Structure 1
Amino acid sequence: MAGEQEYVKRETVTGAIPMLSGERQYSFWDLFLSTSGFAIATWCYTQGAYVAKYLGFKQMLINIFCFNIIWVLIECIPVLFAVRYGIDLWIWLRSVLGKKGVAILATVISLANFGWYAVDSDLFASSMINLFRGFGLVLNPAIWKPILGVLCVVIGTLIALGGPGVIKMTNRVLVTCLLAVGIIVVIICFTSVPISQINAVKPDTSLYNTGLGRFMLSGEGNVAFAFSWSTQALVMPRLAKSERSGYWATSLSYGIVAPFFVAAGGIMALAMFVKFGYYESDPTNMLAKLAGPGFSLLSLLMVAFANIGTQGTGSYVNCMIVKSGLPKIKYRTLVLIAMVYVSILTVWGWVMDNFGSFISCAAYIQGPIVGMTVVDYLIVKKRRISFKSLYEIDGHDAYRFTHGFNLVGLGCLLISFLVAILFVYNPVTGAIKSNIFMITTGSGFTAIFGGVLYWLASLTPLRQYMLKDRNELDVD
């Protein structure tokens, strides 16, 4: 027991330091199940229902899986360094953004990421109210929705406080059950409504006046969905025992498992439209309508356990992101602050009411970081970095740059963000401003443009500023 407590303490409280290979505790299946448990939540069904409304059945499946798989495989490339060096993305980013730049952006992005968990808890509360209603117990949403939402946050916080060991054990059971439930749900949909009728549903044309426009706008949602994992996905792989298992466990979780549940949500939404004439995104309501109230008990797994597990893993991951930039703050303190913050967002309800704009705006910050990280790792630094400067050991300060800020990296991020909003796609208004959007989407453009800008900067005299570490490389 004492050894396990010491492990949890080291992993959570001092997790910003490199992990030695002998300390790695996650096999392929441990990491796959933990990240899958993180990825599976009710927002998958919300995302699926959104795409299903504007695309036909076949287009929906292509859109969901292709955009997610392609971008997840790319954004997970840095998992290789996370496992090799035992550090997470945000430690490496000290060499791209500067130490103070990481402190600010890690905090800002985590504050945005926590909005997902407000959505998570809001959907948990709505689904539980609908579940009780199906069995004759009517709960007043004005009273019970905030209570149940905060309850989801609190239980998830308890899991986060237990650290990676508790998360691993929880997800071993949880994800296995969830995958089985997802398959059952798809079978229910296809047995309730003939697949020929689902395939015959005509998409809503109000989103855009051309099929390509609707496809790419739906794709924007899926690229943003894929990017939502990017800054979080590269925290847990440092626990993996090998680079191969770390990369494929992470990629399959976010690139296959999460899209599968998005597709399940889309299929349920289409089945609801065929049978009842309207779209629905709440899995509890959909199961009750399609298969009867008894089957809505499956939502205890789909919604209750899934959302609580996601709260726990998400709290751990994002608090570790903040800790990468602000290592002196205690992990448990960060978890408790996060609990209060997410509870406030849940009760407020703004994020849920502006879900589409929220995920695209968050992706516009994360996209350039994805592009720059991949380019920096593979092309600019060629997989070589100075640990001495990452941790400023013995006065090594190659990554201090300008008062703690890498002006080149931050400039590429800001320029990519502004160019995308002003000239490609505005995620707040939903306005498409260039045909480039029809090729890359808005979020995809930020990643491509950010990476290209960073690479071009490395071909100029700015290279000396960006690569001050070349005379002290100690990791190859």
Structure 2
Amino acid sequence: MTTSETVLPLTRKERHAGFLSIFWLWAGGNVLLTNFVSGSSYALGLGFWPMLVITVTGYLFALAFCSWDSQRSARYGIDEMVSLRPTFGYHGSIYGVVVLVGVNFGWVGILASLAGSAMKLVVQNLAGGLTFSGDYTLYALVVGIVLPLIIIMFSQKAAFQLSKITVPILLAFVAYIVVRLVTGGYWTKVTTTPSNGSQSWMSAFEIIFAFAISWFPYLGSWNRFARRERIGFWGTYLGLAVTGILFAVVGGMATLATGQTDPALWSNQLDLGLAALVIIILGTVTSVTHLLGSGSMGILSVAPKWNYRWVCVIVTIPSAIFVFATSLQEIFNILLIFVGLLAGPYWGVALTDYFFLRKQKIDVRACYDVNGAYRYTGGVNLVAFGCMVVGMAVWIFLGGWLSGMSLLTFSAGESVFRYTSATLPSMIISGLLYYVVAKGFFATSTMGGYRPVSGRAGGERTGTPVRT
């Protein structure tokens, strides 16, 4: 097993990824068919021009947070979950692993279901309508789960090579869809279909922002390979933005043209040909390979002695449950609520801690020492979690109504949501609260302070919290 298949910090010599490698990696990771679904989810509610404006501006803003977060791992060569230990404690970072695995199950399951639908249509078109009992399930499991699992079990680095091959093909496919929509008699319908009022600008922004920050748990698994922080930042930002915006806009356009949100269905309805459905399958394999690699590294951060390839299997199997989901849109919405509520405030605290309190200085060795500087109280920074809970309460007040549960619906919060959304305010409030409380609390406690010491990145002892 190589160092890249463990959660040990990577030395400078082991960080092989330049700008183009990181760019293609994240472009490949973000050729998610769910990006199509994200644009589709609010296109009918807003209409074409508002959909275009909110997609471009919303993603450019939201993905800046992802690129900002990615710098921790790029600087120190450590996995995302390990990099959270200075903030939440050696054991407190396990919460991030739980979020990662939960998000992973949902995304992989949704993508596998899309691959199953596309594969079924491919076979029917090639074999004169051939179908059999359980064909969708078989295709979804084999193409959407088993094939990516085999690739990532072979090597985590395989995701880099796969992206370089598939992303140009997928981008060419999306360009073809745009040409088809513009020249195939659909453009007038795309641009003139009126808004049905089912979504507001702010609800669309919430979808975009929550969808974008769902990348938080994955960033460090791959950006630890970046040669420099600047490469990690810009490669991540541009890679995610180019494909994210393009796929969301095209998905929204296709939905306006057909009324369908499932890419397999609107591809077929737009008569894009078998090539389009094959491309959907290729995109699924690429994206799921990235997701499984990140999920596996998250589990290894908690159980570093476990075998990498068996962990890949463990992180994959539960995703098969979502293959049997009855509503793609419903599962998509639930997953975004999960991200906004459970991930937003958590990473809001982490960003504040790393950039504003620790000034980007952490002790890499202490991140691997259960009795080291980041042990806090039983391995958990209770102050950080307390501020996170406040942020979660803010999210529930503002966005609880999105769940459809009366218990979590507050009319006052729903009214405020129209101007603020839910996930971004919950991150800001949890982060600001932590900054204020930590500045006072850690200056007088024995849990560790934030006075940085000089040092170098890349596995050396850097930024040790000073006990006061």
- Aligned-pair identity in percent equals 22
Which of 180, 186, 198 is the equivalent residue of 2:190? Answer: 198
Say which SS state the counterpart of residue 384 (structure 1) adopts. coil
Report the counterpart of residue 391 of structure 2 in structure 1: 416
- CA drift of 1:91 comes to 1.4
Q: 1:141 to 1:191 in 2, by over 3 A?
A: farther
Q: CA deviation at 1:154?
A: 0.4
Cα distance per residue 1:69-123 (max 9 Å; x no partner) = 1121123213222112111322121111111111243134312322111000001
Alignment pair present for 1:159 and 2:161: no
Instruction: Give the deviation of 1:360 after TM superposition.
Output: 1.8
Distance 1:238 1:244 in 2: 12
1:450 equivalent to 2:430? Answer yes
Does residue 377 in structure 1 map to residue 354 in structure 2?
yes
Aligned equivalent of 2:28: 37
Cα pair 1:409 1:454 within 8 Å, conserved: yes
Partner of 2:312: 335
From 246, 251, 265, the equivalent of 2:237 is 251
Listed one character per residue, the Cα deviations across residues 384-431 of structure 1 (whole Å, up to 9, x for unaligned) are 1122321228x5x22111111110111122221123213554331185
Counterpart in the other structure of 1:270: 256
| Change over 3 Å in CA distance of 1:417–1:120 after alignment to 2 | same
1:143-178 Cα deviation digits (max 9, x unpaired): 112111111200010111122321111111111111
SS of alignment partner, residue 333 of structure 2? helix
2 CA distance for matches of 1:34 and 1:164? Answer: 12
Matched with 1:260 is 246
1:26 equivalent in alignment to 2:17: yes
**Aligned residue runs from structure 1 range 146-225, under 5 A:** 146-151=137-142, 152-193=144-185, 195-205=187-197, 207=198, 214-225=200-211
* TM-aligned CA deviation for residue 197 of structure 1: 4.0
What is the CA–CA distance in structure 1 between the aligned matches of 2:267 and 2:103, rounded to whole Å? 31
SS at 1:19 equivalent: coil
Tell me by how many angstroms 1:462 deviates. Answer: 4.1
Q: Name the residue aligned to 2:98.
A: 107
Cα contact 1:109–1:362 (8 A) shared by 2: no
In structure 1, the gaps of 5 or more residues are: 1-5, 209-213, 273-278
CA contact (8 A) 1:361 1:428 kept: no
83-92 or 404-413: which moved more? 83-92
Structure 2: how far apart are the matches of 1:107 and 1:360? 15
1:120-152 residue CA offsets vs partner (Å, 9 max, x unmatched): 000110122223334464355851121111112
Cα deviation, residue 304, structure 1: 0.6
2:375 corresponds to which residue? 400
Letter in 2 for 1:448: I
The one-letter code sitting in structure 2 at the alignment partner of 1:164 is Q
One-letter amino acid matched to 1:17: L
| Residues 167-176 or 248-257, more deviating | 248-257
Are 1:437 and 2:428 matched, yes or no?
no
Change (3 A) 1:198 1:111: closer
Q: Does 1:297 align with 2:275?
A: yes
Offset at 1:297? 1.8
Amino acid at match of 1:238: R
CA deviation profile, 1:316-371 (whole Å, cap 9, x unmatched): 01111222233232221210112221123323557764321221222211111231
Distance 1:350 1:108 in 2: 22
C-alpha distance 105-78 of structure 1, shift in aligned 2 (>3 A):
closer
TM-aligned CA distance change 1:352 to 1:322, over 3 Å: farther
CA, structure 1 residues 108+374, in 2 after alignment: closer, same or farther (shift >3 Å)? closer
Whether 1:355 aligns to 2:332 is yes
Give the drift of 1:190: 0.9
Alignment RMSD (CA, Å): 2.3
TM-score normalised by L of structure 1: 0.88
- Please report how far the alpha carbon of residue 246 of structure 1 lies from its aligned counterpart in structure 2 after TM superposition: 1.1
SS in 2 for 1:126: helix
2:42 to 51, 61, 78: 51
Distance 1:32 1:161 in 2: 23
Counterparts in 2 of 1:413 and 1:426: CA distance versus 1, 3 Å: farther
2:125 aligned with 1:129, yes or no?
A: no
Written as runs of structure 1 = structure 2, the 5 A alignment for 1:228-239 is 228-239=214-225
Q: Distance in 1 between matches of 2:36 and 2:383?
A: 39
> 2:458 matched to which residue of 1?
none
Q: Distance in 2 between matches of 1:349 and 1:463?
A: 53
Residues 114 and 263, structure 2, Cα contact 8 Å, conserved in 1: no
Measured in 1, the distance between the counterparts of 2:303 and 2:438 equals 28
Contact 2:71–2:229 (CA<8 Å) still a contact in 1? Answer: yes
Aligned equivalents of 2:216, 2:343: Cα separation in 1: 7
Distance 1:381-1:140 versus aligned 2 partners, 3 A rule: same
Residues 104 and 292, structure 2, Cα contact 8 Å, conserved in 1:
no
User: What is the rounded CA distance, in whole Å, between the counterparts of 1:464 and 1:387 in structure 2?
Assistant: 24
For 1:28, the aligned partner's letter is: F
Partner in structure 2 of residue 276 of structure 1:
none
Hey, what's the Cα distance between the residues in 2 that align with 1:141 and 1:463?
Answer: 67
TM-score (norm 2): 0.89
- Contact 2:113–2:322 (8 Å) recurs in 1: no
Q: State whether residues 178 and 306 of structure 1, in contact with CA within 8 Å, keep that contact through their aligned partners in structure 2.
A: yes
Shift of 1:194: 5.6
Matched residue of 2:8: which SS? coil
Looking at structure 1, the residues matched to 361 and 75 of structure 2 have their Cα atoms a distance apart, in angstroms, of 11
Matches within 5 A, 1:80-119: 80-119=71-110
**Equivalence for 1:77:** 68
1:320 aligns with 2:300: no
| Letter of the structure 2 residue corresponding to residue 246 of structure 1 | G
Q: Check the 8 A contact 2:89/2:376 in 1, yes or no.
A: yes
